[in-house]
């Protein structure tokens, strides 16, 4: 069998309706060369920048600044200027009242005061100056309880059942706060007891270089007054303790 012959492929003739379109660049050869050189240079620069960026160590992230702290808001002063928890204190029970006594305070009620309310052979009973009295070891700080008939504090033919029967907080200050004293605080305090809500008046004042915290209320025609006193120079250290003792007054 004769070997196959390789014949050159001739280009297929163009269709009669098909024409070859030749496009000619309008730019000169010099301009084409310049544009080509610029393009090559730009591509090289971009490639170099990309390679440099890839090789460069990563930039450390900026250290976050600490959160800005808002200035502490001014604390609101407590209603009574500061009260301590007195549950761990000993509680003294008197005639119709009770009061908490700070640690290390001594009972200094004189023996004759205990018997002042007793009568012998029909003699008129001597009124007791204090129903309770306690003092610090140096005797500079005192806590006292006084009981007085309400009609001795304000003339009335009716039995006072509530301290509001003696007047408003401002009106009653004339009874409980000495003339010339500088009043630091005055509050109405309502406490729920077993039967009803009882009203107390609280006053804090200074007089003759003494600082006083006073709590008063009325029950069955009697006015109960608890007072805690100390020199002004010591009130800064022991004022909360003394104020808490006065406020702990409770009647039954």
pLDDT tens per residue, range 53-86: 545 455 455 555 544 444 443 333 444 668 999 9
CATH class label, 99-110+128-251: alpha beta
Percent share of the chain, pLDDT over 90: 53
Model confidence pLDDT, tens digit, residues 143-200: 999 999 999 898 776 788 999 999 999 999 999 999 999 999 999 999 988 778 999 9
pTM: 0.65
- Give the CA distances from residue 134 to residues 57, 91, 159, in Å, rounded to whole numbers and listed in that order: 79, 12, 30
DSSP H helical ranges for 146-252: 150-153, 169-176, 232-247
Give the CA count within 13 Å in the CB-facing half-sphere of 187. Answer: 16
* CA separation, residue 9 to residues 12, 13, 19 (Å): 9, 12, 21
Q: How confident is the model at residue 7 (pLDDT cuts 50, 70, 90)?
A: very low
Q: Which band of pLDDT confidence, cut at 50, 70 and 90, is reported for residue 18?
A: very low
Mean pLDDT of 3-21: 47
| Helix or strand holding residue 55 (H, E) | helix 29-55
Q: What residues have CB less than 8 Å from 210, skipping those under 6 apart?
A: 229, 230, 231, 232
- Write down the domain spans for the chain: 99-110+128-251
Q: What is the DSSP letter of 147?
A: E
């Amino acid at each position: 069998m004769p070997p196959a012959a390789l014949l050159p492929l001739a280009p297929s003739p163009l269709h009669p309706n098909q024409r070859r379109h030749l496009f000619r660049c309008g730019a000169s050869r010099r301009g084409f060369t310049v544009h080509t050189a610029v393009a090559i240079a730009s591509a090289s620069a971009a490639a170099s920048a990309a390679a440099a960026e890839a090789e460069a160590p990563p930039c450390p992230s900026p250290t976050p600044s600490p959160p800005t702290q808002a200035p502490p808001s001014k604390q609101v002063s407590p209603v009574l200027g500061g009260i301590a928890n007195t549950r761990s204190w000993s509680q003294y029970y008197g005639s119709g009242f009770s009061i908490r006594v700070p640690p290390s305070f001594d009972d200094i009620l004189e023996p004759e005061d205990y018997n002042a309310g007793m009568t012998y052979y029909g003699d008129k009973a001597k009124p007791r100056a204090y129903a309770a009295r306690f003092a610090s070891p140096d005797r500079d700080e005192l806590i006292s309880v006084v009981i007085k008939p309400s009609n001795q504090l304000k003339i009335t033919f009716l039995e006072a059942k509530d301290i509001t029967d003696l007047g408003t907080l401002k009106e009653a200050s004339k009874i409980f706060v000495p003339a010339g004293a500088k009043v630091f605080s005055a509050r109405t305090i309502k406490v729920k007891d077993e039967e009803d809500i009882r009203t107390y008046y609280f006053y804090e004042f200074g007089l003759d270089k003494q600082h006083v915290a006073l709590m008063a209320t009325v029950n069955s025609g009697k006015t109960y007054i608890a007072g805690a006193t100390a020199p002004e120079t010591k009130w800064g250290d022991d004022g909360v303790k003394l104020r808490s003792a006065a406020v702990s007054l409770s009647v039954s």
